[in-house]
Amino acid sequence: MNVGLYQSASGMRSNLDRQSVIAANLARQTIPGSHQSISAFEVKDDTSVQNRGRGEVSPKVVSKNFQIHTEVATDFRSGPITQSGDPLHFAIQGKDSFFRVLDKNTGSELYTRNGAFYRANDGRVLTTDGDAVLTDAGTPMTVSSASKLEVDEQGRAKLNGIEAGKLGIVHFENPSEALVDAGTGRYSLTEESLRLPGMAPADIVLQRSLEYGNTDVVGSTISMMQTLRLYEANQKALAAQDESTGRLLRMVGEKA
């Protein structure tokens, strides 16, 4: 077996996967509350590849003896915050706190940093996915069209100057361990006990603002070009080894 062929093929496969992750990060950059993904790769003997957690992408077979083991983790660092002027737009300054929302399809509680909310015709405050935004009491937040909404840095809401509860916000000591990607910038819990009530002490709510993706566009673009060069290098190495093997087989055939 020409191990070099499989090593070059595994290098091509891992760099192709890395390119896909970088492209997805760049595409999500303008989506409020999105987080970039970070990928890691190993090539292992297929008998040693084990399930190592929720972030794993199914191993891809390179040969009967080698597999590419890919793990993708979420980078929960906060992104840049920009003022929008909309009273139903909110950003959390800090990385450990999340808005509570109710999944419109399953009815389960999810968590997001995307504070681009809007008022539905029935008065409920919804996310861009149509999920209900929850109060700290766990009930859907409602706002009448005639109400003036003001929310302070602690998430306390006032409607026309009258106290009206608080935004539903929770925090996690380690979001990477507590949360699993549920799609479109939303996350579900791995364990109920990891959720802590209220905002993290150092975090604050900013009304009329949005937090955008935390992807480093310049750095990601450079990484994308580097990944392409690595892919091409492995491709050339594979072609060279294939040609060398072909010559060897032809020489053996001529002597036989």
User: What are the residue boundaries of the structural domains of the chain, listed by start?
Assistant: 3-76+222-255, 81-211
Contact of 194 with 178, CB cutoff 8 Å = yes
The contacts of residue 108 (CB under 8 Å, 6+ apart) are 102, 188
Per-residue pLDDT band for 69 (boundaries 50, 70, 90) equals: low
Q: pLDDT value at position 215?
A: 86
pLDDT tens per residue, range 3-24: 666 677 777 777 788 888 888 8
pLDDT tens per residue, range 132-168: 999 999 999 999 887 899 999 999 999 999 998 999 9
Lowest mean pLDDT among 40-54, 85-99, 154-168: 40-54
pTM assigned to the model = 0.75
Mean pLDDT of 77-86: 93
Per-residue pLDDT band for 67 (boundaries 50, 70, 90) equals: low
Measured CA to CA, the distance from residue 131 to residue 105 in angstroms comes to 8
Measured CA to CA, the distance from residue 220 to residue 215 in angstroms comes to 7
